[in-house]
Amino acid sequence: MQSSKLGKRWKEYHGMSNWDGLLDPLDDNLRAEILRYGHFVETVYKSFEFDPSSPNYANSRFPRKDLLERCGLHNTGYKVTKYLRATSGIQLPSWVDKAPTWVAKQTSYVGYVAVCHDKEEIKRLGRRDVVVAYRGTTTCLEWLENFRASLTNLPIPCNTKRAFEKNGVMDRSGAMVESGFLSLYTSSLPRKTFRSLQEMVRREISRILETYRGEQLSLTVTGHSLGAALATLTAYDVKTAFPGLPVTVISFGGPRVGDPRFRRMLERQGTKVLRIVNSDDVITKVPGFVFDDGLASDGGVHVPGFPRWIQKRVEEAQLVYAEVGRELRLCSKDSPYLGNTNVATCHELTTYLHLVDGFVSSTCPFRASAKRFLQR
């Protein structure tokens, strides 16, 4: 990669122009950046303790100071500054007390914040980049949160005087997001044993902005599966709290997150989202239904030629979703190296990295060099 080219055009690669002209054919610099952020997500999976019999279950296996190196990601120029935890807001029945402790694990390590600290890497990137990386679903309660597919009102944190502010507290925005994702982002345990993911992220970003005051910073939020949904909520929330900070999402295999109003709010605040989608991945097709995003004067979603009564029933069930940002659409069938795929392999992060590495354009054959991701 030409470092001078990336540094001078970092805003373009960060989505300032919505990646126009960079996706098909896929720009080599952008490909390298997508893969680089994908590797940060990989380290969250690699550092997660999956063994339910371990006393460290659902925590990080490694200390912050050498997490990236212990996960095989060397010489990144970044340092991990904060571990992040997500908490489920599901109220558990009393009988759960008799089940194994891993079944009712309410809070777990879900990702981290990392800051670029190496001078040469800062020069190459053209700014000091901050990364928030999230893994996908692993615990029982996270799976249950995923199935809470109905939409719920999105509270907006009011840190400035706005029309929807009432006595300086949060008021409803009109936008709606998936109930389970919002629960994992905003829930905390009683007595502040663990703060909410939202509070942890906001505090750490605020600290970083204060530490590097006067420098050019950017925030890149990246995640896979559930982590992609949390990345979108995080980006929206941080951009609301710190509107001057350039915020971009690079997501892999993410489900839908919110309704058309939520999409419009992301666009108005200037949050950039690049969704990496595998056409064969069912997770990217849920939850809910997507109609034309045109909002009618009554607040409903009207689609010409589509039975109004069906639209009405879907709206009443709070299941009208909208895709956000730009999409880089890939397909497992385009790779000559994947062989027979199933629902699980189509969704795996390694499959996504393989497809990104191999994609040239919608009219060109797959790159042979992409086979390297399947040999790990």
79's enclosing H/E stretch is: strand 78-87
Question: Where are the alpha helices (H) located in the chain, listed in sequence order?
Answer: 3-8, 10-13, 28-47, 67-70, 119-125, 140-146, 179-186, 197-211, 226-241, 260-269, 308-316, 343-347, 349-358
Catalytic residue chosen out of the listed positions 129, 237, 281, 334: 281
Residue 281 bears catalytic tag: yes
Catalytic residue chosen out of the listed positions 196, 225, 251, 335: 225
330's enclosing H/E stretch is: strand 326-330
Residue 347 bears catalytic tag: yes
Q: Angle at Cα 196 formed by Cα 194 and Cα 200, nearest 5°?
A: 90
Catalytic residue chosen out of the listed positions 179, 347, 354, 357: 347
CA 268 → CA 21, 250, 262, 284, 325, distances in Å? 22, 18, 10, 24, 12
Cα–Cα nearest to 212, from 331, 127, 280: 127
Cα–Cα nearest to 273, from 290, 251, 257, 294: 251
Residue 225 bears catalytic tag: yes
Could you list the active site residues? Answer: 225, 281, 347
